Structure 1
Amino acid sequence: MTAVVAMRLPLSEDLAGFVGLLQRLNVPFRVSEESGEQVLWVPNEELAEQVRSLYQRYPQGDPELTAPAWKPQRGPGFLEQLRLSKMTAAVLLVTFVVAAVTLLGANPTTLRWFTFQDFQLVGSDHVMFIPLADGLAAGQWWRLLTPMLLHFGWLHLAMNAMWYWELGRRIEYRQGGLMLLGLSLGVGLVSNVVQYMVSGPSLFGGLSGVLYGLLGHCWIFQLLAPTPAYRLPKGVVGMMLIWLLVCLSGVIDLLGFGSIANGAHVGGLVVGCATGALGGLLARRKGM
């Protein structure tokens, strides 16, 4: 199944009422911004014709209309979601490759390629870190980013991959793949640096700092310029913020579940909220 364009409308056109109507009718769709226009996508041409006809009759939505004029159709399948989420899938693919190469952190020989600081093993249980300045002087600038690709255990990888797939697709649908990549790299850089400043030389990694950044971006953007793509399930933001506070309290460490990269989480959330505020304000000025 290939998504098709149902309508192209100016950015000044208010689609909120019509989008609400499509949601009540259980019509699968998404809205993106391309070349200064709002583009409404649906799974097939037949449904596109019906949506165009419906818009001609009810451009502002119709609160009295409660019964669909067609049978609800299935949403896009997994392969179609992959096609529409190429950047999200690409980031996850690289993450999975790094997880395989490093054996989820169990192979120190390959693990050291991706850590924030290079290190050497002294004996069987002691790690000696190479100063960050030495690594950067040697041209190892990739280390500022690559810890976001490291994961330590299947559960760590699975949870982060699941949330990146959920949040990354939303941003890619709404603002494009390049925006998602830029956000991921920018948030990853900030969260890694903040974690290093908080913890000093240590082994840390994972997409969770980036995830808090993407969450903050969607959350604040949605508050300033509501859009269907960033309408997160009820309670998600609250749950993630409560989990952040629990981790900051030190309870997780005391219970012996391992160290949490709190610096990365907080740094990612702050920068994500900032980008969400900027993006939301710009979208609001454009009248979206």
Structure 2
Amino acid sequence: MILVRRNPDEPAEELDLLEFERRAKNGEVAPQHQVCFPAVTGEKFVAARDLELYRGLYASGLITFRRYFHLARMPWMTLLLIGVLCLTYFVWQGGAPGGKDELVQHGAKSSVLMFELGQWWRLLTANFLHVSGWHLAANAIFLFNLGGPTEAVFRRQDYALIVAASLLGTTLLSAAANPLVSCGASGLVFGVWGAAAVFGMRHRKILPDRYRRYFIGSVIPYSLFALYIGFAIDGIDNWGHLGGLLAGSVTASFLPARLLVPKDRLLPAKLLGLSACALAIAAASLLPQGVGTLTFNRYYPRGGLSVPLPAKWQELNTQRDARTETYACGNGAGVMVGIRSRLEQLPVPEESLGRDFVSRDLAAYLETSDIQGLKIGEPVASEIGGCRAAVVVAELLTEDLVSQATYVVIARGYYHYVVSFTVPRWLSPYYEEAFANIIGKMEISEPDELAVAVERAHSEDTPFRHAQLAVAHAHAGDLEMGLATLRAAELRWPTNLDLPTVRDRLWLEAGKLTNAAGKKPDDGEVAPEDAPNHDGATSGEANP
């Protein structure tokens, strides 16, 4: 038997060994209580703290935890976070729902802009933006209900560490796995959720029953259910939720409960770690930036215009028919490059190239698009690959975005090339260098029509194939070579009537623009030195 008394003036209470161990573990026998353990102390009473048996059973921190654990602690840091969320929405975002482009402009997560422009500060800012007031309200309510208890059970500096880890974990995993634009504090909510669940699991044996039911019986099932709901609904950034949940859970697994370890000896190291993260985000902006490697292999340039395009950009559109090919790609942040190559029925007018594009192509585009306003600059003459070109800069206004579009229009005989660069106006300065680099590397090569005609003229030495070759040269902008090919063929086959007919047609089509004297000829007029000497009859072969 073991005798226990509070002080010498009180009678001693007899306890068996099991009861003594139970009371010592529960803190019912205090260190200053007097204990007589005949097998150890004989008839003498000593302070309980002097017994090795008692010291092995009594853990003051755990007893304090059991006695004083509660959640009634003002969550100042959580309230501050909610205040920052509200201030961001109502002041920075204007308090109104925003579209995707507006959210990106305010700082939402955009993987493309982070990797291409080094805007790694979005790892933090994206967590504080919200799509709508309802989005903000839902996250604020969840954060208060979960952040308050979590802040109460951890030291405030540790809670700040959980918040920082959740913010970064949310956007890092989302940026790596989800290319779509996203924003919101839900990743932070899941991080706090994970921290609360880890706390409950780690301390489930010493938590009072009602708190054990809350942290294990309520927090864990509800967090898993919320994660499932996110996967069941379209348009939810579940990678962000998962990143916040993992980051908050892992961080909390290394942090002690506030009541067990009130003093933080590692505070300087934690502050140093947070500072290192901030410096890493700042240093990331110094990494090489740009659209990445340009490649000519994104599309097949049948019309002879080769445009180098970013290898990592997404294909948006590709179409081909007998005379036209179009291709477009973009980076997912509203930055796009479009290419159109068209073989016209007549030579493309070079002198009015820019004006014709504005009056014909842009006008047709306005009729079929949702453009609400258009501001067009004066066309600027240029030259690309030895061909006449015009550069037209326009601003396009839609319902929620102003974009800047730069059109490079190129004339090459019968081929009409248009390369367009479209970018949100606020992003325009960031992509000027990339667009200039693409324009500088564009190549104008032999069209498929000419390559095929050359091959067939070599393999089939007939008037018909040489006439096709002449037409292909003219289409590719080399009218002189086309006429020379016809003259050589006429010398070889003087009785063939198709060759002069083709020559007439080429001169007539060129004459619709101007003749050698600068005069616009009549439909039947041809250049004197190349005027056909025939009555228009044709042989049995079809004209090319």
Shared fold per TM-score greater than 0.5: yes
* 8 A Cα contact 1:171 1:179, kept in partner: no
Instruction: Indicate whether 1:217 and 2:195 are aligned.
Output: yes
3-state DSSP of counterpart to 1:232: helix
Matching residue of 1:183:
162
* 8 A Cα contact 2:139 2:186, kept in partner: yes
Shift of 1:110: 7.1
Instruction: Indicate whether 1:149 and 2:128 are aligned.
Output: yes
- Provide the aligned length of Structure 1 versus Structure 2: 196
Residues 88 and 246 of structure 1: CA distance in aligned 2, closer, same or farther (over 3 Å): closer
CA distance in 2, matches of 1:110, 1:224: 39
- TM-score by length of structure 2 reads 0.32
3-state DSSP of counterpart to 1:131: helix
Residues 215 and 109 of structure 1: CA distance in aligned 2, closer, same or farther (over 3 Å): closer
CA distance in 1, matches of 2:168, 2:87: 20
Relative to its length, the structure with more strand (as a share) is: 2
CA distance in 2, matches of 1:110, 1:12: 48
Instruction: Indicate whether 1:268 and 2:244 are aligned.
Output: yes
Shift of 1:12: 2.6
Residues 252 and 116 of structure 1: CA distance in aligned 2, closer, same or farther (over 3 Å): closer
Instruction: Indicate whether 1:12 and 2:2 are aligned.
Output: no
CA distance in 1, matches of 2:152, 2:169: 24
Shift of 1:212: 1.1
1:278 to 229, 238, 254: 254
Which AA in structure 1 matches 2:108?
T
CA distance in 2, matches of 1:285, 1:232: 20
Which AA in structure 2 matches 1:98?
T
Matching residue of 2:70:
30
Which AA in structure 2 matches 1:192?
T
Which of these two proteins has the greater Rg computed from alpha carbons?
2
Residue pairs, 1:1-80, within 5 angstroms: 12-15=61-64, 17-19=66-68, 30=70
Which AA in structure 1 matches 2:70?
R
* 8 A Cα contact 1:86 1:177, kept in partner: no
2:83 to 66, 79, 93: 93
Shift of 1:112: 1.5
Matching residue of 1:235:
218
CA distance in 1, matches of 2:177, 2:139: 22
CA distance in 2, matches of 1:16, 1:174: 10
CA distance in 1, matches of 2:77, 2:255: 19
Matching residue of 2:511:
none
- TM-score by length of structure 1 reads 0.58
* 8 A Cα contact 1:147 1:205, kept in partner: yes
Shift of 1:260: 0.5
Residues 233 and 160 of structure 1: CA distance in aligned 2, closer, same or farther (over 3 Å): farther
Shift of 1:168: 1.7
Shift of 1:172: 2.2
CA distance in 2, matches of 1:149, 1:221: 26
Deviations 1:243-269, CA, capped at 9 Å, x for gaps? 312432xx312xxxxx00100111111
Residues 11 and 155 of structure 1: CA distance in aligned 2, closer, same or farther (over 3 Å): farther
Instruction: Indicate whether 1:173 and 2:152 are aligned.
Output: yes
Shift of 1:105: 4.4
Which AA in structure 2 matches 1:269?
L
Residue pairs, 1:111-150, within 5 angstroms: 112-117=105-110, 131-136=113-118, 140-150=119-129
* 8 A Cα contact 1:224 1:280, kept in partner: no
Instruction: Indicate whether 1:252 and 2:233 are aligned.
Output: yes
CA distance in 1, matches of 2:194, 2:136: 21
CA distance in 2, matches of 1:203, 1:104: 18
Shift of 1:233: 7.9
Shift of 1:149: 0.6
Q: How well do the aligned residues superpose, as a CA RMSD in angstroms?
A: 3.2
Sequence identity percentage: 21
Shift of 1:13: 4.6
CA distance in 2, matches of 1:219, 1:197: 26
Shift of 1:18: 3.3
CA distance in 2, matches of 1:270, 1:30: 26
* 8 A Cα contact 2:165 2:251, kept in partner: no
CA distance in 2, matches of 1:190, 1:280: 21
3-state DSSP of counterpart to 1:235: helix
Shift of 1:113: 2.9
- Runs (5+) with no aligned partner, structure 2: 1-58, 263-544
Which AA in structure 1 matches 2:192?
L
Matching residue of 1:57:
none
Shift of 1:144: 1.1
Residues 11 and 134 of structure 1: CA distance in aligned 2, closer, same or farther (over 3 Å): farther
Residues 11 and 184 of structure 1: CA distance in aligned 2, closer, same or farther (over 3 Å): farther
Shift of 1:216: 0.9
Which AA in structure 1 matches 2:239?
G
Matching residue of 1:208:
186
* 8 A Cα contact 1:167 1:215, kept in partner: yes
CA distance in 1, matches of 2:236, 2:250: 23
Which AA in structure 2 matches 1:15?
T
- Judge which range, 167-176 or 217-226, deviates more: 167-176
* 8 A Cα contact 2:143 2:189, kept in partner: yes
CA distance in 1, matches of 2:157, 2:67: 28
- Runs (5+) with no aligned partner, structure 1: 1-9, 20-28, 32-75, 118-128, 254-258
CA distance in 1, matches of 2:62, 2:230: 44
